[in-house]
Structure 1
């Protein structure tokens, strides 16, 4: 997780942490060694299925869980499954957000295959699906066929630059309203795009997303779900390159001095908890615009299609130099969020339907890539 100097000073209380010994100093400057290698490996495989999957691996997904497995036992075919050990049962009890993330992956796979001269023919849920939970049945069966005439997608070139920017945005840089229709053009799979950079509307949505985040953090079982996925320091990030990474010199120092741990982060009375809360509120409270997607129905196929459109919206925002961060807390389907869920739907989908995704946009600092599991760890029965 990249931090601005402002956040570093805040988290360290404006004081200095003194490190004793050369070994400590070396450890405090270590960065993960292997967790970012998949970004360099994208496209560097002999099998066209592996080449496409190596790009798809970089798609955004909830809490960076990378919750999928690919069966390559059938020649020329990828059978995609959900990894049921990587669900988010407290904040995503119906697996809606996970399914949207799988839709992002399938769209990026399609883009990568096309760029490689292959057509990806996809059959969704070939053995059916459940509206209440993903299960052991396949998510999709994808057949790759060489086809030099397949159309390349210009958004694919933006994939190496795509980020979920978790830093505060620049309050002095407004977003030109004409950018929203340009981003909306990226939507191709049936979702209705919505967006605003109007000051009054943005202020209202800042307040709404701030409150939703507060509810998630102050609800013990939903916040603990995130805390359990904290990866603190380079060793943890390399060992488990998913979840929520806290790496780099600052977090190595806080970890080594005992000021930051999963236990302290989960304790509402701790400095780590309060500082973390202030930091995430700095994100919701510096939104300079918001974008969202609404669908008429909420079927599994529609959730997959939403993921495809969401990836495309993220890439279109990237092309225009905008920072982009999903803020989907108010869309989560657990009891403590029910009132705000109804409120956000009344506001963003007054004619009915499901608000599937919501994000803040703005101009922010450059941030690094997120950790990823090696592609080989996601392959079964190959």
Structure 2
């Protein structure tokens, strides 16, 4: 005979099992909701350009090269490029800076935007050489910008006229590096950049006289390391700059496919299921990626990155014309590609070069130390060996760069 007292523990255990099962079920359902909100089941169209076969989907050789040049690094990953194909029958096109993609808070003089034109042109040149084209580049064929009406001038006057001439194909390790993620923000390994690697990187030259120097000695590294962290702290504390960055943060796969430019969680090195989880949280709880959280994260990334960095590269120009800025971008892109070919990775840490008022003292200080005789530091980057492979970031469809033909 079973007593009431004997039935009660059995019922209690069964109730606990049912409750636990329900909790697990609810938890699993919530996890699926979060992952789905992050875009787990969406196709990442924005990664198509990273496939080497992507360029082959275009018949026009100009667009085949443009399809590879879109992989170039750019300020805020805004990819501020417009293309106008020459309709005269010449194998040529014009490159314009896209004034709708300016970031005036962080880049009030549009210097970074012009450097981004240079990175595009260098990627184009490398892609052309591999495909069997000599890429001729004529800078500012329509004349210099009207700085008093910069945005409209950008729309009217091309940065460059590009002409393709048939040549012998010359595949290179630099071309292979085009298809590798261009920026790595992780802490770098203790493996030192070698003298041979330094010599090869410093041997890269730009047609207009931009120069690149790699700093590896302890004193210089210590000075630059501290300066880059201060720059990150200042930028993170600038509300206008933070708002501008937040405006181009893409919180999930659906938004990334819509815009295909700007920032995303990949910039923190996040990949796999963790990416969709973070994106889902950011989508369902937008406050989780608010300005305070972003500032704390950015400062931590900068501090950890600087602490592990034993080499920095600086790109300088004697003057600071628009052509100088473009040529500095070409040299930086050449440096970044060659670094990848040598087994190294890079990350721009150029916050202290920004021209907004909050950065004025830091900008002056780094120039006093590393830009003698009035030169301009155009780019500053970490250099080292990766501890983590960073995933590729969003890229626009090459067709979206087309303007009038």
**1:60 CA drift (Å):** 1.0
Cα distance in 2, alignment partners of residues 20 and 206 from structure 1: 45
Cα distance in 1, alignment partners of residues 346 and 71 from structure 2: 16
**1:343 CA drift (Å):** 0.6
Query: So what's the TM-score if we normalise by structure 1?
Result: 0.87
Give the structure 2 partner of residue 243 of structure 1. Answer: 262
Cα distance in 1, alignment partners of residues 160 and 355 from structure 2: 25
Structure 1 residues 19 and 191: alpha-carbon distance in aligned structure 2, compared to 1, 3 A threshold: farther
Give the structure 2 partner of residue 55 of structure 1. Answer: 68
Give the structure 1 partner of residue 32 of structure 2. Answer: 23
**1:162 CA drift (Å):** 4.8
* Residue 173 in structure 1 maps to residue 191 in structure 2: yes
Q: Is the 8 A contact 1:224 1:266 kept in 2?
A: no
**Which among 129, 134, 156 is matched to residue 114 of structure 1?**
129
**Which among 227, 243, 257 is matched to residue 208 of structure 1?**
227
**Which among 323, 328, 351 is matched to residue 301 of structure 1?**
323
Give the structure 2 partner of residue 142 of structure 1. Answer: 162
Cα distance in 2, alignment partners of residues 326 and 111 from structure 1: 21
**1:265 CA drift (Å):** 3.4
SS where residue 329 of structure 2 aligns? Answer: helix
Q: Show structure 1 runs of 5+ residues with no match.
A: 1-17
Cα distance in 2, alignment partners of residues 339 and 227 from structure 1: 25
User: How many pairs align?
Assistant: 362
**Which among 59, 71, 95 is matched to residue 110 of structure 2?**
95
Give the structure 1 partner of residue 248 of structure 2. Answer: 229
Q: Is the 8 A contact 2:173 2:341 kept in 1?
A: no
* Residue 332 in structure 1 maps to residue 345 in structure 2: no
SS where residue 207 of structure 1 aligns? Answer: helix
Give the structure 1 partner of residue 78 of structure 2. Answer: 65
**1:69 CA drift (Å):** 0.9
Structure 1 residues 43 and 286: alpha-carbon distance in aligned structure 2, compared to 1, 3 A threshold: farther
Structure 1 residues 297 and 197: alpha-carbon distance in aligned structure 2, compared to 1, 3 A threshold: same
Q: Show structure 2 runs of 5+ residues with no match.
A: 1-26
Name whichever of 155-164 and 356-365 sits farther off. 155-164
Cα distance in 1, alignment partners of residues 116 and 174 from structure 2: 18
SS where residue 42 of structure 1 aligns? Answer: helix
> Quick check: which one's helix share is greater?
2
Cα distance in 2, alignment partners of residues 52 and 159 from structure 1: 12
CA RMSD of aligned residues (A): 2.4
Give the structure 1 partner of residue 402 of structure 2. Answer: 379
**1:201 CA drift (Å):** 2.0
Query: So what's the TM-score if we normalise by structure 2?
Result: 0.82
